[in-house]
Amino acid sequence: MRGLIDDGRVHVFDGAMGTELYGRGVFVNICYDLVTLDQPELVKRIHREYVDAGAEIIETNTFGANPVKLSSYGLEERTEEINASAARLAREAAAERASVVGALGPLGVRLDPWGPTQVEEATDHFRRQVVGLLEGGVEGFVFETFADLAELECAYRAVRAESDLPVVAQMTVGEDRKTAYGTGAAQVARALTKLGVDVVGLNCSVGPAVMLDALEDMADATDLPLSAQPNAGLPRTVRDRQIYMASPDYMAEYARRMVALGVRFVGGCCGTTPEHVRRIREVVSSAESPKVKARTGEQQAVHVSGSVLPVPLADRSKLGARLGAGAPVLTVDILPPHGWNPSEIVDPARTLRNAGVHAVCLADSVRSRSRMSALSAATVIEREVGIETMVRYACRGREMFGMISDLLGAAAVGLRNVLIVSGETPGTGPYPSAATALDLDSLGLTKVIQGLNRGVDPGGNPIRTPTRFVQGVEVDPSAPEQEYEWDRFRAKIDAGADFAVTRPLFEPERLSPILELAAPTELPVVVGIWLLPTLRSAEFLANEVPGVDVPEETVERMRRADRSGPDAALTEGVAIALEVIEATRSQAGGFHFSAPRTNVEVAIRVVREAGLGSSA
């Protein structure tokens, strides 16, 4: 492989492996990396067909063969075995007629700062894959379909820890010629050049036309050899199958144009077949790449972050002003309605405003039931009632850039206060296919919002006008793994949280460690109070709500009171809430009330008896 890089000529990669396996009867619900072991002759035949078609470089069938993705199939312990076997199989198929490079793809998880996976951990995952590929005898490595430069750097560090073999580093871009993190093609080229890889390029996601435009940007930003492995156009759904429509002739014509631009390594990604590779080879066979002089000297400045200082907390919202001044805040949950009738949220919100509540909290849909969007409900309340809202925004079931779109839309309509939570895994309820994926957790989204408040997106690109979010985070005083919970809370504080809200608190002494963690930054801690109007609500909270610890003594108090009737049970529930308030009010940054079925009247009773409200 090193000789192919150094000879100054154009060389041809192979095409898709997954598309070919699928087209030959391998179902998509199995591990494609394991096919190397389960059906070695099939994989070997595909490799040979690419070599026969003219591919000079073939990739191992290991795109997803890292321990993170393999763990989905219970195969993480076989990481080294699968990679070594794939490399040996590819070498047998190549029979010294083509170079064999080890293919590495993304881990499929978010890295810090956007997710919980640390850089060292990610590097170790890639290193296991690299060790296996080296054992199998690869001549180099190709990184494919990376969107995060930091993750690709982890893969590169893993290779360099074990080998000095050449590395072809390929990112993936969208129709806008940017990665999913908003990084432009030229910025990618500069970053990869600085990293020290041997070849830089693009693969997957888009067809050859868009890729050619992006490669023009890259050619102006680096003097390293370029590579290109586009998809065979964008797929079209035909009777539940994804069909790639770009013909071999079309792909070959664009390969010719890419070579004219200065690309030295061309091949194909999703949807390409041995016939596509054959036509590409015919067009570019033994061509010498034009000597394109990179204008790196004219563009020495790498991307300059548009980051600015956030708007002062007091200027972001009324709630932020109270928090910044050290004044206690009072917020109450309202669940958005199952339908779209705004009166179901406007009327209780107006009642709470009149009672002196500072903000109404709109919770995301819970327990797999269809409800009005919390963001939409908040917009209606602020418009119709004139009270500030706080959106309890859950990450689960959303992907990162959908969340960013939501937040930018919220900023545009004037919503300012958000409480970020990861979100519980819901029961499926009446929706068996309900999504429960967690692409980005509450810590990652807290960091994203801090960036938006500084005027930059996750890729470090300016968004022109910084957002003005006052962002809260949740902390669980009764977490079963307390050290883990405290570590997470510290990380959320460091990530830019403006305040914290505890999960429902029934034992005041549990607040102390949270206050100690918040003290160095004077982070306000709002105490969560779950109102118990009935025995059934206490039993439900104690037994059916994840992440809430209701002491048996509290349930027993409600049980004893219930024997005297519902009014006595309600009075006891109010008394329990008042006791927690009285024990914590000197240290709390305020109180956040939740109640079953949005029992506004109970919340107002507690507010009045505790002497809380706008004048407090």
Domains and CATH numbers, the chain: 2-299 (3.20.20.330), 313-531+591-600 (3.20.20.220)
Angle separating helix axes 149-162 and 185-195, nearest 10 degrees: 20
What is the C-alpha to C-alpha distance for residues 56 and 100, in angstroms, rounded to an integer? 9
Q: What is the pLDDT of residue 349?
A: 94
CA atoms in the 13 A half-sphere facing the CB of 478: 15
Which of 230, 226, 221 minimizes the C-alpha distance to 264? 226
DSSP 347-404: HHHHHHHHTT-SEEEEEPP-TT-----HHHHHHHHHHHT--EEEEEEE-TT--HHHHH
Task: Compute the Cα dihedral for 437, 441, 445, 448 and give only its sign.
Answer: negative
Q: Kindly tell me if the per-residue pLDDT of 368 is higher than 80.
A: no
What is the C-alpha to C-alpha distance for residues 443 and 492, in angstroms, rounded to an integer? 6
Q: What is the pLDDT of residue 28?
A: 79
- How much is the pTM? 0.73
Specify burial of residue 239 (Cβ count, 10 A radius: 0-12, 13-18, 19+).
Answer: exposed
Mode of pairing for the β-strands spanning 241-244 and 235-238: antiparallel
Q: Kindly tell me if the per-residue pLDDT of 239 is higher than 60.
A: no
Please give the single-letter amino acid code of residue 550: V
Instruction: Tell me if 437 sits within 8 A of 400, measured CB to CB.
Output: no
Which of 297, 207, 219 minimizes the C-alpha distance to 251? 207
DSSP 51-104: HHHT-SEEE-S-TT-SHHHHGGGT-GGGHHHHHHHHHHHHHHHHTTSSEEEEEE
Q: Kindly tell me if the per-residue pLDDT of 303 is higher than 50.
A: no
Letter string b/e over residues 25-47, b meaning 16 or more CB atoms within 10 A of that residue's CB: ebeeeebbbbbbbeebebbbebb
Residue 143 β-bridge partners:
104, 169
pLDDT digits (tens, 9 = 90+) for 193-211: 999 999 999 998 778 888 9
For 357, 374, 547, 612, the CA distances from 526, given in Å and listed in that order, are: 14, 21, 17, 13
Q: Kindly tell me if the per-residue pLDDT of 300 is higher than 70.
A: no
What is the C-alpha to C-alpha distance for residues 379 and 385, in angstroms, rounded to an integer? 10
Q: What is the pLDDT of residue 6?
A: 92
Q: What is the pLDDT of residue 283?
A: 87
Q: In this predicted model, which residue has the larger pLDDT, 424 or 217? A: 217
Q: Kindly tell me if the per-residue pLDDT of 190 is higher than 70.
A: yes
Would you place residue 110 in the very low, low, confident or very high pLDDT band (cuts 50, 70, 90)?
Answer: confident
Would you place residue 396 in the very low, low, confident or very high pLDDT band (cuts 50, 70, 90)?
Answer: confident
Instruction: Tell me if 532 sits within 8 A of 551, measured CB to CB.
Output: no
Would you place residue 288 in the very low, low, confident or very high pLDDT band (cuts 50, 70, 90)?
Answer: low
Which of 419, 420, 417, 413 minimizes the C-alpha distance to 442? 420
Q: Kindly tell me if the per-residue pLDDT of 529 is higher than 60.
A: yes
Q: What is the pLDDT of residue 308?
A: 83
Instruction: Tell me if 589 sits within 8 A of 525, measured CB to CB.
Output: yes
pLDDT digits (tens, 9 = 90+) for 565-608: 999 999 999 999 999 999 999 999 999 998 765 578 999 999 99
Phi and psi at 590, nearest 5°, equal: 140, -170
Which of 458, 500, 455, 114 minimizes the C-alpha distance to 310? 455
Across the chain, mean pLDDT equals: 88
Residue 236 in 3-state DSSP? strand
Would you place residue 439 in the very low, low, confident or very high pLDDT band (cuts 50, 70, 90)?
Answer: confident
Weakest mean pLDDT among 33-42, 125-134, 480-489, 523-532: 480-489
What is the C-alpha to C-alpha distance for residues 431 and 436, in angstroms, rounded to an integer? 12
> H/E element holding 499?
strand 499-502
Residue with tokens 């435009």: 213
Question: What whole-number percentage of the chain has pLDDT above 90?
Answer: 69
What is the C-alpha to C-alpha distance for residues 65 and 71, in angstroms, rounded to an integer? 10
Six-digit token string for 271 = 């949807």
Question: What whole-number percentage of the chain has pLDDT above 70?
Answer: 90
Angle separating helix axes 535-544 and 566-584, nearest 10 degrees: 60
Please give the single-letter amino acid code of residue 82: I
Nearest-5° Cα angle at 503, 311 to 449: 25
Please give the single-letter amino acid code of residue 586: S
pLDDT digits (tens, 9 = 90+) for 70-93: 999 999 999 999 999 999 999 999
Q: What is the pLDDT of residue 438?
A: 64
Which of 606, 588, 445 minimizes the C-alpha distance to 528? 588
Question: Per-residue pLDDT averaged across 228-236, rounded?
Answer: 77
Would you place residue 434 in the very low, low, confident or very high pLDDT band (cuts 50, 70, 90)?
Answer: very low
Residue with tokens 């199998």: 136
What is the C-alpha to C-alpha distance for residues 580 and 527, in angstroms, rounded to an integer? 9
Q: Kindly tell me if the per-residue pLDDT of 65 is higher than 90.
A: yes
Question: Per-residue pLDDT averaged across 353-381, rounded?
Answer: 85
pLDDT digits (tens, 9 = 90+) for 135-171: 999 999 999 999 999 999 999 999 999 999 999 999 9
What is the C-alpha to C-alpha distance for residues 477 and 472, in angstroms, rounded to an integer? 16
Residue 333 β-bridge partners:
361
Residue with tokens 């993936």: 172
Instruction: Tell me if 470 sits within 8 A of 417, measured CB to CB.
Output: yes
What is the C-alpha to C-alpha distance for residues 587 and 511, in angstroms, rounded to an integer? 9
Q: What is the pLDDT of residue 296?
A: 39
What is the C-alpha to C-alpha distance for residues 546 and 425, in angstroms, rounded to an integer? 9
pLDDT digits (tens, 9 = 90+) for 14-64: 999 998 998 898 887 889 999 999 999 999 999 999 999 999 999 999 999
Would you place residue 365 in the very low, low, confident or very high pLDDT band (cuts 50, 70, 90)?
Answer: low
Q: In this predicted model, which residue has the larger pLDDT, 549 or 574? A: 574
Please give the single-letter amino acid code of residue 294: A
